[in-house]
Amino acid sequence: MTSQVDHLFNASLDLLAVASLRTGAWLRINPTFERVLGWRCSDLVRRSGLHLVHPRDRRATLEAVKTLSAGHALKNFENCLLCRDGSERVFQWNAVPQRDRGEIYCVARDVTDERTDQRLRRDEERAQAVLTELCVRLDPAADPAKLMDRASRLLKTALQAEEVSFSLIANGPDPDRANHDDGTSGDPDAPPVKAGSASRGGSEAEAEPSSLAQAPAARLTHIFYEDGEAIGCLRATSKPSRRWSAGDERLFSSAADYIGDALQTARKEQELREARDRLATLVEGAPHLVWRAVHNGFWTWCGPQWTAFTGQDSNDCRAFGWLDPVHPEDRGPVRAKWAAAANGGVLNVQFRLRNQDTGEYRWFQTRAAPVRDEHGGVLEWLGTCTDIHELKDLQGRQHLLVAELQHRVRNMLSVVRSVFTRTVETNSDIEQVTDHFSGRLEALARTQVIVTRNPGNGVDLESLIRDELTSVAAGEDQVSISGPPVDLPIQSVESMGLVLHELTSNAIKYGGLRIAGGRLDIAWHVERGEGSADRAANWLHLTWAETGVPAVPVEPGRKGFGLELIAEALPYRLGAKTTVEFKGGGIVCTIALPLVDTASVWSAEV
């Protein structure tokens, strides 16, 4: 019987042992001890087996020994034993004390793989529960800082950590301090961590086989990257009474991966929100009417500027409602431009829009370009309407000004030709022709200077007279000028300028300004039409009177250029009434000129 028991003892796959009830030393062990733990049986016999027990299980093992010493059997007790190679194995013990013999009969089964599977399943279920909670509780559309604050609190609870914190990395971490290349966590006081996310360590409940070969980590670290650049760091610090297990590491790593994805999404959402806010600020601050449309001018949205100008909101302008404030005459051309834009790829059209406040139609330049997908298809059109009403006014005025300029140049050339012809006809000497013609051209030039000073209004009569007298250095003590302010019509200025020049030239050569005792009195007044506010009904009455000239009141033998201008040209061109009298002491000339409306293309409103 003893031989059979010995064979069974030696062949068992479980640990079989007999220990001293008094000392706890092994009295006999089977070969499985050496095969599983690596220790030689001779090294274990006669020694207490407590030195094989993992430090975290020694207190519980001593309590179990006390139970046996008290005569009570032990069933399904588990502890971790240290193998000779430094690894760890978990065993489940049954033991029965024999007090009368002073021995304990023990059997232990290796349950390491079973417990590992159970732990992995628990860790997986735990990780799945944490990830599910993260999925439910984290909103990727939230602000990244708020998202990471919530994620840190959830992970702290799941890991039972002392602290879980997240910090942004402004310019990317130093690789030597970012838990990356050299296996450090970035904290000088933290133990080494495995590159990638977390350190390795053990806990009182569970441990990896090599946990005693390395110092347990107090901190788990994970670096988040975006486009190859480090953007943040997540750290979890264990409580002093607890060490990280392999399951904690795996949970931290899985949760950090999910949090990283959520953080990246939140950052993209934040960038998108900021871009939308910037675009909205730009659109609302732009001095244009902004809108969006799809095919053929089917509008989908309008900006606040369109609403402020037309009174239409996004609902009013939707589809083709935006055509309502468009001028009826412009609607057809605008629709035609939209039809052509589908082929041309751009919309460029001018039309008039009605202002909601004034009811006025104003010109707008409208431009739009398509937004295309990756295949070139048109997704929508983005467009703006720019107020060009003042520009259109200026363009109209410019066209009229050019026409006026051409007309004036032609008229001036005609006047010059006429002046030259009459100057030649009335003078036989070339020096006289040159002298008279030069003087008349200078008078025309002075008149043009005065006109161009204020092209939109008439020309002040007194200024015209004084400029002419100044050109011949007429003495102020010989000249008297009096009359109310009068603006001569633009079309009257050239003729009146030539008349004043001829009268002044005659006064210098033959009349009141030739001698020291002569005088020149120029006076005028305006006769207003009775019962009429029309300026055309008003008449200017001007008198040019020279005195003190020792001359006989005789009519000249021939009619010169000046006399023809006064007696014939003014009545013909301007409807004036004129008289010229050659009296003793000087010439007296009267001119009655209708003051027609001074409005011309120089001041016309388009």
CB atoms within 10 A of CB 517: 11
User: Cα-flanking dihedrals φ and ψ of residue 429, to 5°?
Assistant: -85, 135
Q: What is the pLDDT of residue 458?
A: 76
Count CA within 13 A, CB hemisphere, residue 88.
21
Contact 232, 263 (CB under 8 A): yes
Chain-centre distance for alpha carbon 363: 27
**What superfamily would CATH give domain 2-110?**
PAS domain (3.30.450.20)
State how beta strands 519-527 and 479-482 pair.
parallel
Has residue 115 got a pLDDT over 70? yes
pLDDT per residue as tens digits for the range 184-243: 334 434 433 333 333 333 333 333 333 333 444 478 999 999 888 898 999 999 888 778
Q: How confident is the model at residue 22 (pLDDT cuts 50, 70, 90)?
A: confident
Structure tokens, 34: 């050496």
287-387 and 398-594, same CATH topology: no
Asked whether 170 and 209 are in contact (CB, 8 A), the reply is no
CA dihedral 8, 10, 12, 13 (to 10 degrees): -170
**CB count, 10 Å around CB of 419?**
19
pLDDT digits (tens, 9 = 90+) for 82-103: 999 999 999 999 999 998 999 9
- What distance in Å separates the CA atoms of residue 393 and residue 399, rounded to the nearest whole number? 10
Average pLDDT, the chain: 81
The DSSP output letter for 217 is P
Q: Which of 81, 77, 101 is nearest to 89 (CA)?
A: 81
Superfamily of domain 398-594: Histidine kinase-like ATPase, C-terminal domain (3.30.565.10)
Return the pLDDT at 214. 43
CATH architecture of the domain with residue range 116-277? 2-Layer Sandwich (3.30)
CB 537 within 8 A of CB 516: no
> In this model, does residue 472 exceed pLDDT 60?
yes
Quick one: pLDDT band at residue 399, thresholds 50, 70, 90? confident
* Percent of the chain with pLDDT strictly greater than 90: 36
Adjacency order of strands within the sheet including 378-387: 299-302, 289-293, 378-387, 361-372, 347-354
Whether residue 74 contacts residue 94, with contact meaning beta carbons closer than 8 Å, is answered with yes
Reported pTM: 0.48
Give the model's pLDDT for residue 197. Answer: 35
What pLDDT score does 412 carry?
A: 62
CATH topology of domain 287-387: Beta-Lactamase (3.30.450)
> With pLDDT > 70 as the criterion, what percentage of the chain qualifies?
81
The residues spanned by each domain of the chain are 2-110, 116-277, 287-387, 398-594
Question: In the chain, what is the greatest distance between 2 CA atoms, to the nearest angstrom?
Answer: 184
105/554 Cα distance (integer angstroms):
170
Average pLDDT over every residue of 441-448: 73
Contact 32, 16 (CB under 8 A): yes
Angle subtended by helix axes 490-509 and 430-453, to nearest 10 = 140
Q: Which has more confidence, 335 or 531?
A: 335
* Mean pLDDT along residues 257-286: 84
